[in-house]
Structure 1
Amino acid sequence: MARWVRADLRARRGEALFLVLATAGVTMSLLLSGAFLAYGASPWQRVFTESNGAHIWIQTTTEADAGALAGLEGVESASRAFRTASATAELGGTRARIQLRGAGPEPPKVARPLVTEGRWLQERDAAGATPRTRTGTAAPDTEEPSQAATRSTHATRAAPAERAPAQPAEGIVLESSLARALWAEPGDVLRVYDSRGTAHPLRVTGIAESAEERYSPGRAPGIGWVLPNTLPHIEHEDDQLGQTIGLRLDDPEDTDFVVQRAVTQLGDDRIVTVSTWQQAREEAEGGGRLLGLLLGLFGLSALLAASLAVAGAISTSIRGHLRDIAILKAIGFTPGQLIRTFFLEHAALGLLGVACGALLTEVLGPRMPGRLGEAMRLWQALPAHAWVPLAIPLGALLLITGTTALAAWRVGRVPPVPVARPATPAVRRMPGTVRRALGLRLPPALVLGWRGAFHSRARSCAAVARLAVPLLLITIVLGAWTTLDRLEHNPEKVGIPAALTVRGDDLDDTAVARMLAERPEVTAAYPGAEAKALVPGQTGTITLRGLGMDRDPYPLTIADGRAPHRAHEAVAGQGLLDLLDVRVGDWVRVTVGGRPQVLHLVGRSIEPEEDGRVISTTLDTLRAGGLAQHPGFYHLVLDQDADPAAVAAGLSSAAESRVDVREIPNPVHELLPVHGVLGGLVTVLALIGLAELSTTIAAGVRDRRRDLLALRAIGLTPRQIIAVIVAGTSFTALAAALVGTAAGVLVSGWLIDLQGRSSGIGAGIAQHPPPAVLLLLVAAVVTGAVAVSLLPASRAVRQRLADTLGDSL
Structure 2
Amino acid sequence: MRATLRWAHSDLRTHRGEALFIVLATAGIVASLLLATALFGYATNPWQRIFTQSRGAHVWLHTVGPADTARLSALDGVESVAGPYATESVTVSSRGTRATVELRATPSRPSVGRPLLTSGHWLDPRRPDGVVLENRLARALLAEPGDTLTLPGTTRALTVVGTADSAEPRYRPGEQPGLVWAPPSAVRDPGGRVIGLRLKDPGDTDYAVQRAVTVLGAGAVGEVSTWQQARAEAQGDNRLLGQVLGLFGLGALLAAGFAVHGAIATRIRGHLRDISVLKAIGFTPGQVVRIFLLQHVAYALLGAVAAALLTQALGAGVPGRLGDAVGVWQGLPGHTVSLLAVPVGAVLFIGAVTGLAAWRAGRVPPVPVPGGTGAPGGRLPGVARRALGPRLLGLRLPPALVLGSHKAFTRRPRTLATVGRLALPLLLIVVAMSAWTTIDRFHTSPERLGLPAALTVRADRGLSDTATRALLEHENGVRAVYPGVEVAALVPGQTATIALRGLGTHDDPYPYALAEGRPADGPDEAVAGQGLLDLLDVRVGDWVRMTVGDQPQILHIVGRSIEPENAGRVISTSLDTLRENDPRLAPTLYQLRLRPGADPHQVAAALATAGHGHLDVHTVTNPADGLSPLRAVIAGLICVLALIGLIELLTAIGGTVREGERDLLALKAIGLSPRQVTAITVTSTTCTAAAATATATALGLPLSHWLINTQGRTSGIGAGIATTPSPALFTLFITAAIAGAAALSTLPATRAAHHRSADTLSAVA
Q: Same fold (TM over 0.5)?
A: yes
Relative to the length of structure 2, the TM-score reads 0.94
- The aligned counterpart of 1:773 is 729
Alignment partners' CA distance in 2, 1:587 and 1:623: 19
The one-letter amino acid paired with 1:541 is T
For the residue of structure 1 that corresponds to 2:526, the secondary structure is strand
- The aligned counterpart of 1:463 is 418
The one-letter amino acid paired with 1:272 is G
Gaps of 5+ in 1: 127-169
Q: Spell out the pairing of 1:677-692 with structure 2 (5 A cutoff).
A: 677-692=633-648
Match of 1:443 among 374, 382, 398: 398
The one-letter amino acid paired with 1:760 is G
Given that residues 125 and 171 in structure 1 are in contact (C-alpha distance below 8 angstroms), is that contact kept between their aligned partners in structure 2? Answer: yes
Alignment partners' CA distance in 2, 1:74 and 1:801: 88
Match of 1:367 among 292, 310, 317: 317
> Does 2:736 align with 1:786?
no
For the residue of structure 2 that corresponds to 1:430, the secondary structure is helix
Given that residues 463 and 614 in structure 2 are in contact (C-alpha distance below 8 angstroms), is that contact kept between their aligned partners in structure 1? Answer: no
The one-letter amino acid paired with 2:486 is E
> Does 2:56 align with 1:53?
yes
The CA deviation string for residues 38-73 of structure 1, in whole angstroms up to 9 with x for no partner, is 333333223222212122212234533323323333
> Does 2:698 align with 1:742?
yes
- The aligned counterpart of 1:796 is 752
Given that residues 304 and 346 in structure 2 are in contact (C-alpha distance below 8 angstroms), is that contact kept between their aligned partners in structure 1? Answer: yes
Shift in CA distance, 438/12, structure 1 to aligned 2, threshold 3 Å: farther
Given that residues 465 and 587 in structure 2 are in contact (C-alpha distance below 8 angstroms), is that contact kept between their aligned partners in structure 1? Answer: no
> Does 2:126 align with 1:173?
no
> Does 2:168 align with 1:212?
yes
Shift in CA distance, 536/624, structure 1 to aligned 2, threshold 3 Å: same
- The aligned counterpart of 1:578 is 534
> Post-superposition shift, 1:511?
2.1
- The aligned counterpart of 1:138 is none
- The aligned counterpart of 2:657 is 701
Alignment partners' CA distance in 2, 1:425 and 1:249: 83
> Post-superposition shift, 1:329?
2.7
- The aligned counterpart of 2:686 is 730
- The aligned counterpart of 1:481 is 436
Alignment partners' CA distance in 1, 2:486 and 2:212: 24
The one-letter amino acid paired with 1:457 is R
- The aligned counterpart of 2:611 is 655
> Does 2:423 align with 1:472?
no
Match of 2:383 among 430, 439, 458: 430
Alignment partners' CA distance in 2, 1:510 and 1:257: 44
Q: Spell out the pairing of 1:320-399 with structure 2 (5 A cutoff).
A: 320-399=270-349
> Post-superposition shift, 1:433?
10
Alignment partners' CA distance in 2, 1:363 and 1:44: 26
> Post-superposition shift, 1:417?
3.1
- The aligned counterpart of 1:299 is 249
Given that residues 379 and 666 in structure 2 are in contact (C-alpha distance below 8 angstroms), is that contact kept between their aligned partners in structure 1? Answer: no
- The aligned counterpart of 2:369 is 419
> Post-superposition shift, 1:514?
3.3
For the residue of structure 1 that corresponds to 2:717, the secondary structure is coil
> Does 2:221 align with 1:266?
no
The one-letter amino acid paired with 1:415 is P
> Post-superposition shift, 1:199?
5.0
> Post-superposition shift, 1:509?
3.8
> Does 2:598 align with 1:642?
yes
Alignment partners' CA distance in 1, 2:465 and 2:122: 43
The CA deviation string for residues 48-101 of structure 1, in whole angstroms up to 9 with x for no partner, is 222121222122345333233233333333323323333343445644333222
Given that residues 224 and 496 in structure 2 are in contact (C-alpha distance below 8 angstroms), is that contact kept between their aligned partners in structure 1? Answer: yes
- The aligned counterpart of 2:38 is 35
Match of 2:72 among 63, 69, 75: 69
The CA deviation string for residues 10-32 of structure 1, in whole angstroms up to 9 with x for no partner, is 11112212111111111121122
Shift in CA distance, 93/727, structure 1 to aligned 2, threshold 3 Å: closer
Alignment partners' CA distance in 1, 2:225 and 2:755: 75
- The aligned counterpart of 2:570 is 614
Alignment partners' CA distance in 2, 1:358 and 1:628: 64
The CA deviation string for residues 228-254 of structure 1, in whole angstroms up to 9 with x for no partner, is 3544xx116xxx222x22222333232
Alignment partners' CA distance in 2, 1:635 and 1:582: 28
Shift in CA distance, 589/368, structure 1 to aligned 2, threshold 3 Å: same
The CA deviation string for residues 687-709 of structure 1, in whole angstroms up to 9 with x for no partner, is 11110011001111121211111
Match of 2:112 among 88, 110, 113: 110
Alignment partners' CA distance in 1, 2:312 and 2:154: 56
Alignment partners' CA distance in 1, 2:550 and 2:326: 48
> Does 2:188 align with 1:185?
no
> Does 2:501 align with 1:538?
no
Alignment partners' CA distance in 1, 2:498 and 2:209: 14
The one-letter amino acid paired with 1:104 is P
- The aligned counterpart of 1:502 is 457
Alignment partners' CA distance in 2, 1:362 and 1:373: 11
Shift in CA distance, 225/423, structure 1 to aligned 2, threshold 3 Å: closer
> Post-superposition shift, 1:268?
2.4
- The aligned counterpart of 1:807 is 764
Given that residues 64 and 220 in structure 2 are in contact (C-alpha distance below 8 angstroms), is that contact kept between their aligned partners in structure 1? Answer: yes
Given that residues 378 and 662 in structure 2 are in contact (C-alpha distance below 8 angstroms), is that contact kept between their aligned partners in structure 1? Answer: no
Higher mean Cα deviation, 503-512 or 598-607?
503-512
For the residue of structure 1 that corresponds to 2:215, the secondary structure is helix
- The aligned counterpart of 1:165 is none
> Post-superposition shift, 1:729?
0.8
Alignment partners' CA distance in 1, 2:117 and 2:594: 41
- The aligned counterpart of 2:711 is 755
- The aligned counterpart of 2:90 is 87
- The aligned counterpart of 2:125 is 123
Higher mean Cα deviation, 250-259 or 774-783?
250-259
> Does 2:39 align with 1:25?
no
For the residue of structure 2 that corresponds to 1:596, the secondary structure is strand
Given that residues 377 and 663 in structure 2 are in contact (C-alpha distance below 8 angstroms), is that contact kept between their aligned partners in structure 1? Answer: no
Given that residues 67 and 80 in structure 1 are in contact (C-alpha distance below 8 angstroms), is that contact kept between their aligned partners in structure 2? Answer: no
Higher mean Cα deviation, 413-422 or 22-31?
413-422
CA RMSD of aligned residues (A): 2.3
> Post-superposition shift, 1:4?
1.2
The one-letter amino acid paired with 1:112 is R
The one-letter amino acid paired with 2:749 is A
Shift in CA distance, 587/199, structure 1 to aligned 2, threshold 3 Å: farther
Alignment partners' CA distance in 1, 2:337 and 2:673: 60
The one-letter amino acid paired with 2:416 is C
> Does 2:511 align with 1:555?
yes
> Post-superposition shift, 1:190?
3.4
Alignment partners' CA distance in 2, 1:695 and 1:758: 40
Shift in CA distance, 517/550, structure 1 to aligned 2, threshold 3 Å: closer
- The aligned counterpart of 1:241 is 192
Shift in CA distance, 369/125, structure 1 to aligned 2, threshold 3 Å: closer
Alignment partners' CA distance in 2, 1:517 and 1:64: 42
- The aligned counterpart of 1:145 is none
Given that residues 619 and 628 in structure 1 are in contact (C-alpha distance below 8 angstroms), is that contact kept between their aligned partners in structure 2? Answer: no
Higher mean Cα deviation, 178-187 or 311-320?
178-187
Alignment partners' CA distance in 2, 1:578 and 1:359: 44
- The aligned counterpart of 1:718 is 674
Alignment partners' CA distance in 2, 1:64 and 1:529: 25
The one-letter amino acid paired with 2:33 is L
Identity of aligned residues (%): 55
Alignment partners' CA distance in 1, 2:318 and 2:584: 49
Relative to the length of structure 1, the TM-score reads 0.89
Give the total of aligned pairs: 755
